[in-house]
Amino acid sequence: MPSFESVSFSGVNGTTLSGTLDVPDGGARAWAVFCHGFTLGKNSAAASRISKALAGHGIGVLRYDAAGLGSSTGRWEDGSFSTKVADVLSACGFMADTGRPVSLLVGHSLGGAAVLAAASRVPGLDAVATIAAPFRPSHVVHLFESELDRIHEEGSAAVDLGGGELEIRRHLIEDLRGHDLTDSIKELHLPLLVMHSPTDNTVGIDNASEIFRTARHPRNFISLEGSDHLMVDRAQTARAAAIIAAWAGTYLDLGRES
């Protein structure tokens, strides 16, 4: 049965990020990093359940909280899409430094956009998988569209994003709008698995279509029928993990323990 280990590592801007390693029974045959969605954290349904399920398939996974979430230090409102991408790289660096080189990146929602942006800078990476990812990072701005005028005028505003109020700052919006993933996806040169629900009402499935059309082969698309954006259904997270593990087996060296 998979086990877990609590870890911490340095993020950007002097933060310390809190992580969980989901470790397969008998040792990992490959290692992955999972990047969670906008405000969700490492214990969100998608991050926690998919990481644990991947460990059950022999792939060890590091999932971690962004700064200001969970047990990670720093303030969430100081972050941006750029820091989210940088923290993916920090996580991969930590794994490499501890003898667990990362072969697979998995990202959910905005975390999917972050792994697409970071992938080309991860040495030795073999594959990337996204779940309910936006093609444009700026897509998340619609979550607080009603407060945009106040944010631009006052520099920030407290916004209820479903899990409590968080401060949204003008620099976050500017940073989100300043990123274009087109070149990152075109120049990925790695196997890509795009997973998305056709009934996702938060990030529409047209985003998956744009990612898939932009990417080069080898690329695969899996429709997650019946799933919502947050992947709260256990059967759906188990299915997603099984698909990722089966697909990744083609590209990762899963015959060798590490």
Closest CA to 112 of 58, 30, 40: 40
- Residue at 159 is within a domain: no
Q: Is residue 128 part of a domain?
A: yes
Dihedral-angle region of residue 47 (phi above 0 means left; psi in -120 to 50 means alpha; beta otherwise): alpha
Give the position of tokens 């990476």.
Answer: 125
pLDDT over 70 percentage in the chain? 97
pLDDT value at position 163? 64
Query: Does 173 reside within a domain?
Result: no
**pLDDT given at position 170:** 96
* Tens-place pLDDT, residues 36-51: 999 999 999 999 999 9
Query: Are the beta carbons of 20 and 47 closer than 8 angstroms?
Result: no
User: Beta strands 16-23 and 30-35: pairing type?
Assistant: unpaired
Q: Is residue 72 part of a domain?
A: yes
Task: Summarize pLDDT for 200-254 with one digit per residue, the tens.
Answer: 999 999 999 999 999 999 999 999 999 999 999 999 999 999 999 999 999 997 6
Measure Cα distances from 191 to 35, 120, 130, 241, 247 in Å: 18, 12, 11, 17, 10
Give 157's contacts (C-beta < 8 A, 6+ positions apart): 144, 147, 150, 151, 167, 168
User: Stretch 170-180: mean pLDDT, rounded?
Assistant: 96
Tally of domains in the chain: 1
Which positions ≥6 away from 95 have C-beta within 8 Å? 31, 33, 62, 101, 102
Rounded distance, CA 138 to CA 143, Å?
Answer: 10
pLDDT tops 70 at residue 64: yes
Terminal C-alpha separation, the chain: 17
Instruction: Write the burial class of residue 254 (CB in 10 Å: 0-12 exposed, 13-18 middle, 19+ buried).
Output: middle
pLDDT value of residue 164: 73
Confidence of residue 255 (pLDDT cuts 50, 70, 90): very low
Give me the pLDDT at residue 222, please: 98
How far is it, in rounded angstroms, from Cα 247 to Cα 232?
A: 22
d(CA 186, CA 19): 30
Q: Where are the beta strands (DSSP E) in the chain?
A: 3-10, 16-23, 30-35, 59-64, 102-108, 127-131, 156-160, 165-169, 192-196, 219-223
Q: Mean pLDDT, to the nearest integer, of 62-89?
A: 97
* pLDDT digits 0-9 by tens, 103-134: 999 999 999 999 999 999 999 999 999 999 99
At residue 258, the pLDDT reads: 41
Predicted local confidence at residue 2, as pLDDT: 87
Is 108 part of any domain? yes
Instruction: Indicate whether 83 belongs to any domain.
Output: yes
Residue 170 resides in a domain: no
What CATH number corresponds to the domain at position 44?
A: 3.40.50.1820
Say if 34 falls within a structural domain.
yes
Phi/psi at 187 (nearest 5 deg)?
Answer: -100, 20
- Report which residue type is found at 155: G
Residue 130 domain boundaries? 3-136+180-248
Q: Are 196 and 223 in contact (CB under 8 A)?
A: yes
